[in-house]
Amino acid sequence: MGAKPSKATHHRDTSLETTSIPSSVQTTSSPTINIDGRIYHNIESSSYYLPRDEEEQDRLNSEHFAIKALFSSNILPNVEQRLPSNANILDIGCGSGSWVMEVAIEHPNAHVTGIDMADMFPTTIRPENVTFQLCNILDGLPYEDNTFDFVHMRQLIVALRAKEWPVVLNEIYRVLKPGGLVQLVESDFTEAGHSNLIDAVMTTLHRAMQERGQDPFVASKLERLLSEAQFQDVQQQVRVIQFGQDSDPIAGEMMYSWKSAMRSIKPFLAPRLLKNPDEYSMVLERYFQECTHYNWHMKLWAVCACRPSTTTTTTATTTTSSLSSPLSS
């Protein structure tokens, strides 16, 4: 990673390119729509508004490596130590598949399944213990009860409506084995108060998300949502990314990802932010400059929990502690 990321300098991990095998993916393409040269999802049931093209793949890869560096691993330590060596793992909303393929390499005896409503994941070059499948989580998970040892879900804040979070968590609970583990990582970009322009952009974004039924504040509510879904041993940790720290390579990677995301949501945000949407690019560049100047920051919440190991209904016990501490047995 570097402080000034570019497509030429990041995302290439040769360990992910060593195996070429027949694809085990559902290959029916998900519906799309072209807006101003970018390819977007065109799935009526989804509130997701980011693109699904090569540029978005690059952004997702950048974000993946930044989050991995921020939390020092793909899997939090207290989850890692509880996983069986032959774990059956599911990644919901796998995007470009970076997390899936790295975890599969790190756990060669495990099987890792990645699902997404867009086929941006690899179809030929991947570890042998990987399966990708087209699946919209809003249609339910196409797996039997008690299937997985571990379910991972990350950055679905702009994919799920507020009312859909409890439904999805109930599905995760269903497909987890008793004693199975869940790990959620979400961004909290609700910080404001630095400048009038930052306030205007962020307030407009929050309002636009809420108009689509989404909750821009959901990251701070994950602990409660997991407890309400009857998960136990809920633990969380917050990391802060400060965009004014040019010397921090993780901040540089996340700033690259944030800039790419904000540019790509022009069709969604520009008409709400400006009387003349054609000024969006110019205003956005000023916004990025002020994010750096005022050291605007974003929080990332990592929350993990386990499904009770017995079938008896119990109330989940929530604790807020370091993710380096073990989950209760």
37 Cβ contact list (under 8 Å, min separation 6) = none
Q: Domain holding 245: CATH number?
A: 3.40.50.150
How many CB atoms are located within 10 Å of the residue 243 CB? Answer: 22
Give pTM, 2 decimals. Answer: 0.85
For residues 255 and 248, give the distance between their C-alpha atoms in angstroms, rounded to a whole number: 11
How many CB atoms are located within 10 Å of the residue 60 CB? Answer: 23
161-206: pLDDT as tens digits: 999 999 999 999 999 999 999 999 999 988 766 799 999 999 999 9
Q: Is residue 215 part of a domain?
A: yes
Question: 234: which 2 tokens?
Answer: 């809920």
Q: Is residue 261 part of a domain?
A: yes
Parallel, antiparallel, or unpaired for β 176-188 and 148-154? parallel
Q: Are 234 and 226 in contact (CB under 8 A)?
A: yes
Question: 155: which 2 tokens?
Answer: 């950055």
For residues 7 and 12, give the distance between their C-alpha atoms in angstroms, rounded to a whole number: 9
Least confident range from 68-77, 89-98, 224-233, 314-323: namely 314-323
Q: Which residues pair with 249 in a beta bridge?
A: none
Torsion of CA 168, 172, 173, 174, to 10 degrees: 100
Tally the domains of the chain.
Answer: 1
For residues 255 and 118, give the distance between their C-alpha atoms in angstroms, rounded to a whole number: 24
Mean pLDDT of the chain: 85
Amino acid at 67: I
Q: Is residue 190 part of a domain?
A: yes
Parallel, antiparallel, or unpaired for β 38-41 and 32-35? antiparallel
| Domain, as residue range, for 153 | 22-306
- The 3-state secondary structure of 259-286 reads HHHHHHCHHHHHHHHCCCHHHHHHHHHH
Q: Is residue 8 part of a domain?
A: no
258-310: pLDDT as tens digits: 999 999 999 999 999 999 999 999 999 999 999 999 999 999 999 999 999 97
How many CB atoms are located within 10 Å of the residue 324 CB? Answer: 11
121-165: pLDDT as tens digits: 887 778 999 999 999 999 999 999 999 999 999 999 999 999 999
Question: 21: which 2 tokens?
Answer: 């095998």
pLDDT at 121: 87
Q: Are 49 and 158 in contact (CB under 8 A)?
A: yes
Q: Is residue 329 part of a domain?
A: no
Phi and psi based region of residue 212 (left: phi greater than 0; alpha: psi -120 to 50; beta: remaining): alpha
Q: Is residue 235 part of a domain?
A: yes
Place of tokens 């929990």: 305
Q: Is residue 316 part of a domain?
A: no
DSSP 8-state code for residue 295? T
How many CB atoms are located within 10 Å of the residue 311 CB? Answer: 7
Q: Is residue 14 part of a domain?
A: no
For residues 77 and 324, give the distance between their C-alpha atoms in angstroms, rounded to a whole number: 6
Element (H, E) at 241: strand 232-242
